[in-house]
Amino acid sequence: MKFNFIRKNIFPYFALIRLPNLFTIPGDPIAGYLLCGGDFSDKKGIIFAVISSLSYYIFGLISNDIKDIEEDRILNPKRPIPSEKVSVFFAKIASIAALVCGLSAGLAAGSACFTTGLVLLSAIFFYNFVFKDNAILGPVLLALCRTMSVLLGFSLKYETFSALPPTLFAFISIYFAFVMGLSLAASREKNSDLKTFMPGLCMMALSVFFLSLYALHKFKFVIEISGLLPPSIYISALSLIVLLFLLYNVFAGRMIGGQKNISARVGGLISGIILIQTAFLSASGFHNESVAILSLYPLSIASAVFFRRS
């Protein structure tokens, strides 16, 4: 009885903010901070950067749902707002609160982080209100949003992008390609179109391939120096294996099984963003940090039992 009450009255608000997806966010600024030489000496800054990134993500989700409410009444009537489980008024208040929280946390993290957040907000605005339906610019902007989320962490140490280290540039390149590919493949997830699905799948596969090459290069160097297998190699290998399984699962469902509704399989790849973060950080020598981020993956999977990821 109590669970039914919670499911009816509390769950719609978690569904509004796509709870499973939120677990993919902390790894963005943390990766950006670590890969530019951060050592957690600025614990306050990284905490505020994570809060800012989460808040901007929530703002983007809710404002997008408010904009698409009429379309969702037809295509996604079970979503919280069109089903009237969450009122439009509450959604507007929540989006404003998330925006204010993101700006405030960014300012608390530092002026560079605040400015980077403004660029992220611009990308969110152009995606939600201008280019969302554009087959190319929509996915590009979504990938840019996640890239700027990573750079929130970078901005804790540097105030100009000209100081971008090669390792962080490599991560951003792989990450951008994966998120853009995911967006392309999921652009019509309930009635998948091969014209967007296949290019998206190929982009994700290439990003995982280059991530694997990066990990092999890094671990080969460590083994040659120490003669030992570093513990982080198992974390990276596990993450890559699960990623490959998720990619095959989407490919098999669409191309072999002929399923045009690939929402659930795409949802698995959204949670797989955590595995991209984990694999790269573990290969870069951040064992403890990669384990901490990987611990978010089962939470994302478990929460997806109750809440949609897209």
Residues 134, 213, single domain; the answer is: no
Mean pLDDT for 273-289 is 96
Residues 105, 180, single domain; the answer is: no
Whether residue 25 is predicted with pLDDT greater than 90 in this model: the reply is yes
Residues 178, 295, single domain; the answer is: yes
Whether residue 221 is predicted with pLDDT greater than 70 in this model: the reply is yes
For residue 189, the model assigns a pLDDT of: 66
Domain count for the chain, please give it. Answer: 2
The model's confidence at residue 238, banded by pLDDT at 50, 70 and 90, is very high
Residues 127, 212, single domain; the answer is: no
Looking at 123, 157, 191, which one is the last position of a domain? 157
Q: How far apart are CA 142 and CA 144, in angstroms?
A: 5
pLDDT digit string (tens) for 54-80? 999 999 999 999 999 998 888 888 889
Arithmetic mean of pLDDT over the chain: 91
The model's confidence at residue 49, banded by pLDDT at 50, 70 and 90, is very high
Residues 109, 211, single domain; the answer is: no
For residue 133, the model assigns a pLDDT of: 87
3-state SS of 12-50? HHHHHCCHHHHCCCCHHHHHHHHCCCCCCCCHHHHHHHH
Residues in the chain, total:
310
For residue 147, the model assigns a pLDDT of: 97
Residues 226, 122, single domain; the answer is: no
Q: Residue 255 carries which DSSP code?
A: I
Whether residue 182 is predicted with pLDDT greater than 90 in this model: the reply is yes
Residues 135, 200, single domain; the answer is: no
Looking at 131, 157, 183, which one is the last position of a domain? 157
Instruction: Answer yes or no: are the C-beta atoms of 232 and 290 closer than 8 Å.
Output: yes
Residues 18, 146, single domain; the answer is: yes
For residue 81, the model assigns a pLDDT of: 93
Q: What percent of the chain has a predicted confidence (pLDDT) above 70?
A: 95
Residues 224, 148, single domain; the answer is: no
Instruction: Give residues with Cβ within 8 angstroms of 166, minimum separation 6.
Output: none
For residue 197, the model assigns a pLDDT of: 85
User: HSE of 272 in the Cβ direction (CA atoms, 13 Å)?
Assistant: 28
Residues 5, 150, single domain; the answer is: yes
Residues 34, 12, single domain; the answer is: yes
Looking at 139, 157, 175, which one is the last position of a domain? 157
Mean pLDDT for 19-48 is 93
Structural element, H or E, at residue 92: helix 88-109
The model's confidence at residue 306, banded by pLDDT at 50, 70 and 90, is confident
Helix, strand, or coil here: 173? helix
User: Which CATH number fits the domain that encloses residue 112?
Assistant: 1.10.357.140
Highest mean pLDDT among 9-13, 82-86, 104-108, 246-250: 104-108
Residue 253: domain span: 165-310
pLDDT digit string (tens) for 87-133? 999 999 999 999 999 999 999 999 999 999 999 999 999 999 999 98
Residues 114, 189, single domain; the answer is: no
Task: Provide the greatest CA pair distance for the chain.
Answer: 61
